[in-house]
Amino acid sequence: MGELRGIVRRYYAYKVTNAYGFYLPVSILYLTEVKGFGMEVIGLTGAAFLFAEVAAEIPTGYVGDRLGRRASLAAGNALSAVALGLWAVADSPLAYVALNAVWAVGWAFRSGTGKAWLYEILDAHGEADEFARVSGRANTALMLASAATAVAGGALVTVDWSLPFLANALLSALGIPILLTLPTVESERAARDDAGVEDETFTVGDALAALRLQVRRPEIRWFVAFAALLYALFELSRTFEQPAMAAAGVSAPALGVLYAGFKLVSAGAAASAGWVEDRLGVRGAFALLVPLLGATYATIAFAPVLVVPVVFLTRGVRSLFRPLRNQYLNDRVENVGRATVLSGATMVLSLVAGATKVVGGYAAAALGPIRFLAAAGVASAAAAGLVWVAVSPVRPRKGPESAGGDSDPEASVATD
């Protein structure tokens, strides 16, 4: 247990290097205010990130399963550092589309792989049930680091607009030496099991078979569809919240302080993920969050100044949503191919969110960012509620005997 605590502490340190606090408070305003791009370009560059992430998720998930989690995570940090460093010197919409694509590949290297690494390290020590709690606390560390760097980013932009991006590039690069201190999944399995069983070979065919298997399972298929609607709302909010807050009278330096507040709220929400799961379960939590989001986003249309507290709420909900979503999926997939399956789920979320960003850019240009966010929130919550009622996307975990099929009696009810 003492050894696991040390590993978890170093994992928290690594997560801190994934913070984008320097970048976040000024990234969209940099494109609109400094570069002079319109809402359509903002939507397109945001969509480019997500579409590139879709293209990269399966290959990077496969690399994580085949060649090692730790090397994949290091590649993700390296690519993020390059993209952020070049952000300060790019000059055209096409250049930012390309940079977002590079950054997306780096992000994909860490998404499913990072979740799979943590779950399997915990599982190797007999603590798989702690995934939501440890993941939530890791996100707390991430949010606290983002809060501190967000305040710094708001101050740095008053000196030079390029400084926040360069500082964030350096922070991402620092994650690589920290990763070298973390164990590989294979070494932890060997330490636990002295049987000397060789690692299974995981091929591209195995990866595709794992994905096909999960698509056939209603408890996975409909959950991912439901989660995609909420994820699309979170991504739309994150893309257009800076123009919306600027329209409500928030200045660029003040955004640094506000984003620090956002991160502190998110940190508290992430830290409570285990508590929420214990008391409400994934189903109970999502049943409350959907109507809450719809009602609060509707208020923006009547009182635009409420966009600030609504963004606070969205950040907290997003931080709860992520570990609960990952716990649900991790509990329902096998160790072999886990990173591929989680990456496949992320791929679907990104594809849906990317499409909404392209359309959202034009809608935000026509409606204005404030009215657009209000409409997007109500529409997303309504669609998620419809899926909830129609197909019951959040379902109990099956026993081992039915983990690969649809033999669970509840699985045959209202699934198609």
Q: What is the pLDDT of residue 88?
A: 86
Pick from 95-99, 139-143, 251-255, 297-301: least confident? 139-143
The answer to whether residue 321 sits within a structural domain is: yes
The answer to whether residue 198 sits within a structural domain is: no
CA distance 371 to 363: 10
Pick from 88-102, 194-208, 262-276, 337-351: least confident? 194-208
Specify whether the CB–CB gap between 32 and 274 falls below 8 A. Answer: no
Dig out the tokens for 96 from the structure: 């930012």
Dig out the tokens for 168 from the structure: 């964030």
Closest by Cα among 308, 330, 309, 328 to 320? 328
The answer to whether residue 197 sits within a structural domain is: no
Closest by Cα among 53, 57, 102, 67 to 81? 102
205-233 pLDDT tens trace? 655 666 666 666 777 888 888 999 999 99
| Highest mean pLDDT (candidates 153-157, 231-235, 251-255, 390-394) | 231-235
Specify whether the CB–CB gap between 110 and 73 falls below 8 A. Answer: yes
DSSP string, 236-279: HHHHHHHHHHHHTT--HHHHHHHHHHHHHHHHHHHHTHHHHHHH
Q: What is the pLDDT of residue 133?
A: 85
| 339: CATH | 1.20.1250.20
Q: What is the pLDDT of residue 204?
A: 55
Q: What is the pLDDT of residue 100?
A: 92
CA distance 341 to 209: 10
Residue scoring higher pLDDT (333 or 370): 370
Q: What is the pLDDT of residue 123?
A: 85
Using DSSP, state whether 109 is helix, strand or coil.
Answer: helix
User: Where residue 167 falls among pLDDT bands split at 50, 70, 90?
Assistant: very high
User: Where residue 56 falls among pLDDT bands split at 50, 70, 90?
Assistant: confident
The answer to whether residue 395 sits within a structural domain is: yes
Closest by Cα among 93, 153, 105, 166 to 361? 93
Max CA distance (Å), the chain: 65
The answer to whether residue 199 sits within a structural domain is: no
Phi/psi at 19 (5° precision): -70, 145
Dig out the tokens for 179 from the structure: 């990763």
User: Where residue 5 falls among pLDDT bands split at 50, 70, 90?
Assistant: confident
CA distance 338 to 114: 11
User: Where residue 405 falls among pLDDT bands split at 50, 70, 90?
Assistant: very low
Specify whether the CB–CB gap between 33 and 253 falls below 8 A. Answer: no
DSSP string, 44-91: HHHHHHHHHHHHHHHHHHHHHHHH-HHHHHHHHHHHHHHHHHHHTT--
Task: Answer yes or no: is pLDDT of 310 > 90.
Answer: yes
Mean pLDDT of 17-27: 89
Specify whether the CB–CB gap between 377 and 293 falls below 8 A. Answer: yes
CA distance 163 to 146: 16
Residue scoring higher pLDDT (379 or 121): 379
The answer to whether residue 354 sits within a structural domain is: yes
The answer to whether residue 90 sits within a structural domain is: yes
Q: What is the pLDDT of residue 62?
A: 74
Residues present in the chain in total: 416
Q: How many domains does the chain have?
A: 1
Q: What is the pLDDT of residue 70?
A: 85
Q: What is the pLDDT of residue 273?
A: 81
Expressed as residue numbers, the domain containing 366 is 2-192+204-412
Mean pLDDT of 31-43: 91
User: Where residue 109 falls among pLDDT bands split at 50, 70, 90?
Assistant: confident
The answer to whether residue 171 sits within a structural domain is: yes
Count of alpha carbons within 13 angstroms of residue 9, beta-carbon side: 6
